[in-house]
Amino acid sequence: CEFVGEGHAVEDFVSTLVCHQDGTCNGLQHMAAITHNQQTAESVNCVASTEQDTPSDIYRTISVGAADMIENPVAKAILENYGRKLTKGPVMISSYGAGQETVIRTVYKFLKEHNEDGQLSEVIGKAVVLALGKNAGAIKKLTGALKRRATDALVAGKTKFTWVAHDGFVAATEYRDQEVNRVRAGKFNALVRGMF
């Protein structure tokens, strides 16, 4: 990459990176690149998924996959009715580390906002998580590796660990006991910076 022009203005920037402006679920795109997971890369348009390079739609893929797994006719109908609109939030947050319980809460919130039965959030949320596992394996691969590494570090008494991505990028994760700086007073709850 190089800047063209003396002022280094953004509009003068010429990129030589080979990429497009898609932005299909960026979290999953990064996970696909880090883990070299071909299936996930195809699902989020990092690489061509067909000869014609027809763009994939991970949110629709997950909604269809989840609906196929659901036996409850009402939950299935809700998922088919809202489709990608319902699964977009859970898919996006999953790529940033959200687990099954958070996905279920996100589905619950969506259902309540659309005047649907919130009790169906668990069956729909679990189906979404399963569909993600089948269609975006990079999530499981990367989060599993990070969880194992973090567990090993914490068991060894370490609060910080580093790891190296396939591209050579060195990342560091540090776990801090934030409860030591938390102030609680009734419903009020605040994290205070600094030591007491």
Segment 24-48 mean pLDDT: 83
Average pLDDT over every residue of 27-41: 84
pLDDT digits (tens, 9 = 90+) for 53-70: 778 899 999 999 999 999
pTM over 0.75: no
CA nearest to 105, candidates 90, 117, 127: 90
Q: Torsion over CA of 75, 81, 86 and 91, rounded to 10 degrees?
A: 90
Quote the CA–CA distance of 28 and 92 in Å, as a whole number: 8
pLDDT tens column, 67-80? 999 999 999 999 99
For residue 177, name the pLDDT band (cuts at 50, 70, 90).
low
User: When comparing pLDDT for 113 and 161, which is higher?
Assistant: 113
Burial of 17: CB neighbours in 10 Å, binned 0-12, 13-18, 19+: exposed
Return d(Cα 69, Cα 126) in angstroms, integer: 10
Mean pLDDT for the stretch of residues 70-98: 93
SS (H, E, C) 163-194: EECCCCCEEEEECCCHHHHEEEECCEEEECCC
pLDDT above 90 as % of the chain: 34
Interatomic CA distance for residues 172 and 132, integer angstroms: 26
Q: How far is CA 141 from the centre of its chain?
A: 12
Q: How many CA atoms lie within 13 A of 90 on its CB side?
A: 38
